Amino acid sequence: MTEDRTTPWGPATGVGSMPGADAREAAKTAAGTLESFPFLPELPARGPGADMIGRTLGLLVEMYARVEPSGWRFGDRPGRDTRRAWSWLGEDLDALEEFTQGYEGPLKIQAVGPWTLAAAVELRGGEAALSDPGAVRDLAGSLQEGLKQHVADVRRRIPGAEVVLQLDEPSLTAVLRGQIKSASGYRTHRAVDRQLVESTLRGLIEAHGGPAIVHTCAPDVPFALLRRAGVAGVSFDASLLTERDEEPIGEGVEAGLKLFAGAVPSTDTALSDPASNVMGVRTLWRRLGLNPGSLAESVVVTPSCGLAGASPSYARKALAHCVAAARSLADNPE
């Protein structure tokens, strides 16, 4: 999807989750603060079905899940938890539609990617879906169809939007390393072949037919694998980058990859000069010998992770801080 990587997206956006339970207030903040790159907020404080796993399970086609004491588990039919997920998503979409009347430009929506979903949801026997390759294939196929319908709904509601699909994959590195624990907790599921991980993600991205990014707040982001899978951008916690990440980041940027740099703290803290939040990104650019003029074009500034754990007032300030930090990159690239 190389052609999508040059899309002029907004300078800053959110990751996904927001605090509280007021859909209209969250949508107003996301659309009003991030005028050039709003996103569809998630409000996990409402309970199961509003969390990122539950919301994504509600998108699946002909697959359903319910909440058990151990977590989400697949079932035969849609129950209360699935219906609640549908209802809350509809409420969130109604609110976003209200506050994006006439909007034209990039709009980000989020869903959990197939590998994190497979690691988080149990089969009927209680083991993670990740333990069964057939179940993973079915899950990925159902997710693909569900995302097509979801994206079509968003485009219908907000005709001027270019929908950017974010796949949340916080467990991806653990899946690749065989670090996902079994139901008993005494062993781990075997590492999944990297080519299978890559091809599964590629299938979802190609089916979307538009720009897609992958987000993870975990360390050791597999930048090279994600780029081969066709992502237009990678969203990450900038504070977790190490020297190992520099080469694949440099190669990615030169190939047109967008970096969604999580540079503003996602929980309440004192916010100082916005330019200081992106100082690490500037330093990385210099070390890699990249063109300073490409900094603002290649980087989208975000909070370090979702804002569900923040206070509502801080969440608003953090998003505004992202916009200001991004502006500093554009105004002073050196």
Give tens-digit pLDDT for 226-280.
Answer: 999 999 999 999 999 999 999 999 999 999 999 999 999 999 999 989 999 999 9
Query: CB 134: neighbour CB atoms within 10 A?
Result: 8
pLDDT for the residue numbered 311: 97
**Residue 7 pLDDT exceeds 70:** no
Q: Side chain identity at 53, as an amino acid letter?
A: I
pLDDT for the residue numbered 57: 97
Answer yes or no: are the C-beta atoms of 196 and 149 closer than 8 Å: no
**Mean pLDDT confidence for 319-324:** 97
Predicted confidence band of residue 333 (pLDDT cuts 50, 70, 90): low
- pLDDT per position as a tens digit, 292-314: 888 989 999 999 999 999 999 99
d(CA 54, CA 71): 10
Predicted confidence band of residue 2 (pLDDT cuts 50, 70, 90): very low
d(CA 38, CA 23): 14
What CATH number is given to the structural domain containing 154? Answer: 3.20.20.210
pLDDT for the residue numbered 72: 95
- In this structure, the strands spanning 71-75 and 64-68 are antiparallel
Query: Residue 10 to residues 34, 231, 299: CA-CA distances in angstroms?
Result: 8, 17, 10
How long a stretch of residues is the chain?
334
Predicted confidence band of residue 200 (pLDDT cuts 50, 70, 90): very high
The total of structural domains in the chain comes to: 1
pTM: 0.95
d(CA 246, CA 265): 22
**Mean pLDDT confidence for 194-208:** 97
**What is the extent of the structural domain holding 119?**
2-331
Query: Residue 163 to residues 12, 108, 293, 294, 308: CA-CA distances in angstroms?
Result: 15, 6, 27, 24, 23
**Residue 74 pLDDT exceeds 90:** yes
**Which residue, chain included where needed, has tokens 């319908």?**
149
- pLDDT per position as a tens digit, 114-168: 999 999 999 998 999 999 999 999 999 999 999 999 999 999 999 999 999 999 9
pLDDT for the residue numbered 8: 64
**Which residue, chain included where needed, has tokens 């169809």?**
145
